[in-house]
Amino acid sequence: MPRLEPLSRRALLIGGSTMLGLPFLEAMLPTGQAHAHGGGPLRFAGLFTPNGYSMSRFTPDQEGADYDLKEVLVALASVQSEVSVLTGLTAVSNGFGAHAQTTGSAFTGTPVATPNAPSLHNTTSIDQAYAELVAGETPLPSLVLGVAEVANPGDDAGYPDVYHRHISWDGATPMARLDDPTTAFELVFGNAPPGASDADLERRQTLRLSVLDSVLDEANSLNASLGPSDRRKVDEYLTSVRELEMRVAAEDVTTDNACAGIAPGPMANDEERVRAMLDIIALAFACDQTRAATFLMGRSFSSLDYRDLLFGGSGPWHHHQISHQLGSHRDRHDTICRWELTQVAYFIESLRDMDEGGSSVLDNTIVAITSDVSDGHSHDNMPVLLAGGGGGALTPGRHIRYSGGPPTANLWGSVFNALGGNVTSFGEAGNGLLGQL
């Protein structure tokens, strides 16, 4: 029988309009739960930063522990002992276009369908594979978050844009992504009406379940009269409704839970928005609301405009455009990458600073960070970082150089096994596993 954590729908009523702050966490942590490896539950977070890195300013000269921090990686100084740098891995590519396909394949290890193919092709990403492995253990199977998109020109070689918008996939279905921190927060911590009594909350739960149950019946009976493609669509619907129904059914609406957050208040800039999202993931991990998460820190063709955040009055500000003019703007590209890694470091620190009974949340987590390209739109020698202890399975804080350019798919196979999986390869491009993580 799956164990579901009770989550109070009322606990957030204590929240004010301040920004979600991690210091609150320590008081809210569930008391230590025993897991196979002795610490808290294992978690996986996949972070994606777009448009690659200057690899000569990213890659340490030294291998092993105490590697040297080049001018981009220096942003990770505060967490260096928690982060391994993996170099020499190759992106999973089908040969067309620089960004879309390798965003879509970043965590799946499968070449996506070629441009203009009539239907989507991909396989389940590492975060969703892990979510399936621990299905039912937490209220939310996974968290899929990102930053709001800004319209900028550029379509990558005719691909459906889902490939450059989505890193988290359930088979060929991209997982809907939340870009608004307030919505994401409410999804994790509930949005019960203020002032609701126990009876109100119980009634609300009953009525929600009644509707979900009925629409499931309806869709099941519709499914019987459909052909295969249409059934595929209704199956997605059925999966989605069932998941919500399970979650609502498992809520103990009348028991206060010590674990809740403070709803995010107004956010002044993109950095605060990014950090609010990273806080939500950290909080959801700490409270065991979910164990799998991804965060898309922008997509290659869109998203953050660095005018206000980093560069002020003078352009170029668009990350993608800057990444196409490395001849004249490499320093600017590096500045953006350092800013991205500063946010990554913030997330790693947050996980590290939360104790869960003798080990930190970070000790029991694997955080993987990668991009769609490496340097100048190449797919070789990808920038990959791996943080956290994975419950003892990982030895972080080293620079590991791989020879022969193994596909990133092989990394996900090894990560999946470190999380309790048992595979010999991952994704359609996987052809083995990586040792010595």
Partner 1 sequence: MTLDLHMHRRFDTRVLLAAGRGPALLLLLAATACNGDSDGATVDTDGGSTGASSEIGSSGNDDTTGGSDESTSEDTEDPTGAIDPDLDPGRVTLHRLNRSEYNNTVRDLFYGLDIAPADDFPPDPRALGFDNIAEVLTLSPVQFELYERAADNLLTAALHDPGNAAVRDQLIFCDADADQACASSVIRAFADRAWRRSVDDAELELLVAQVGTATAAGGTAEDGVELAFKHALLSVHFLFRVELDEDPTSDEPHLLGDFELASRLSYFLWSSMPDDELFELARAGELQNANAIEAQTSRMLADPKADAFVDNFAGQWLSLRGVRALTKDATLFPEFTPALSAAMATESELFFRTFLEEERPFVELLTADETFVNDELADFYGLPSPGGDAFERVSVAGTTRKGLLTQAGVLSILSPENKTNPTVRGAWVLSQMLCSPPSAPPNDVPELDESPESGTVREQLDAHRENPACAGCHLAMDPIGLAFENYDAIGRYRTEDRGEPIDASGEWIDGTSFDDALELVDLLAANPDAFSACVTKQMLTYALGREFENPDDDGHIDNAAETFSEANQQLPVLVSAITQSGAFRTRRGESE
Site for partner 1 in 186-225 (CB under 8 A): 186-187, 191, 199, 203, 206-208, 210-212, 214-215, 217-219, 222, 225
Stretch that binds partner 1, among 58-66, 320-328, 338-346, 362-370 (CB under 8 A): 320-328
Nearer to partner 1, 146 or 388 (CB): 146
Cα angle 253-258-262, degrees, rounded to a multiple of 5: 90
Indicate left, alpha or beta for 407 from its phi (over 0: left) and psi (-120 to 50: alpha): beta
Supply the angle between the helices 198-223 and 228-250 in degrees, to the nearest 10. Answer: 160
Residue in 165, 273, 291, 398 binding partner 1, rule: CB under 8 A: 165
Run of H or E residues at 44? strand 43-48
Residues 377-436 that bind partner 1 (CB under 8 A): 377-379
Stretch that binds partner 1, among 1-9, 39-47, 166-174, 267-275 (CB under 8 A): 166-174
The secondary structure of residue 113, as a DSSP letter, is P
Residue in 66, 68, 230, 256 binding partner 1, rule: CB under 8 A: 230
Q: Residue with structure tokens 């028991």?
A: 255
**Binding string to partner 1 for residues 110 to 139, with x set by CB under 8 A, is what?**
----xxx-xxx-------------------
Residues 339-378 that bind partner 1 (CB under 8 A): 376-378
If you write DSSP's letter for every residue of 361-392 in order, what string do you get? TGGGEEEEEE-S-SSTT--SS--EEEES-GGG
Residues 72-101 that bind partner 1 (CB under 8 A): 93, 95-98, 101
Residues 265-304 that bind partner 1 (CB under 8 A): none
Q: What separation in angstroms does the CA of 7 have from each of 24, 89, 225, 249, 287?
A: 17, 41, 39, 12, 9
Residues 232-261 that bind partner 1 (CB under 8 A): 232-234, 236-237, 239-241, 243-244
Residue in 254, 321, 342, 431 binding partner 1, rule: CB under 8 A: 321
> Could you tell me the smallest distance in angstroms from the CB atom of residue 116 to partner 1?
7
Residue in 170, 334, 356, 428 binding partner 1, rule: CB under 8 A: 170
Stretch that binds partner 1, among 51-59, 66-74, 313-321, 338-346 (CB under 8 A): 313-321
Contact call for residue 305 and partner 1 (CB under 8 A): yes
Contact call for residue 326 and partner 1 (CB under 8 A): yes
Written as six digits, the tokens of 299 are 């997509």
* Phi, psi of 144, deg, nearest 5: -120, 105
Residue in 10, 318, 338, 398 binding partner 1, rule: CB under 8 A: 318
> Could you tell me the smallest distance in angstroms from the CB atom of residue 27 to partner 1?
28
Written as six digits, the tokens of 21 are 């702050």
Contact call for residue 178 and partner 1 (CB under 8 A): yes
**Signed CA dihedral, 275, 110, 57, 369: sign only:** positive
84 within 8 A of 65, measured Cβ to Cβ: no
Contact call for residue 177 and partner 1 (CB under 8 A): yes
What is the four-CA torsion angle of 369, 372, 376, 382, rounded to 10 degrees? 50
Contact call for residue 176 and partner 1 (CB under 8 A): yes
294 three-class SS: strand
Written as six digits, the tokens of 371 are 């991009």
> Could you tell me the smallest distance in angstroms from the CB atom of residue 327 to partner 1?
6
Run of H or E residues at 228? helix 228-250
Contact call for residue 315 and partner 1 (CB under 8 A): yes
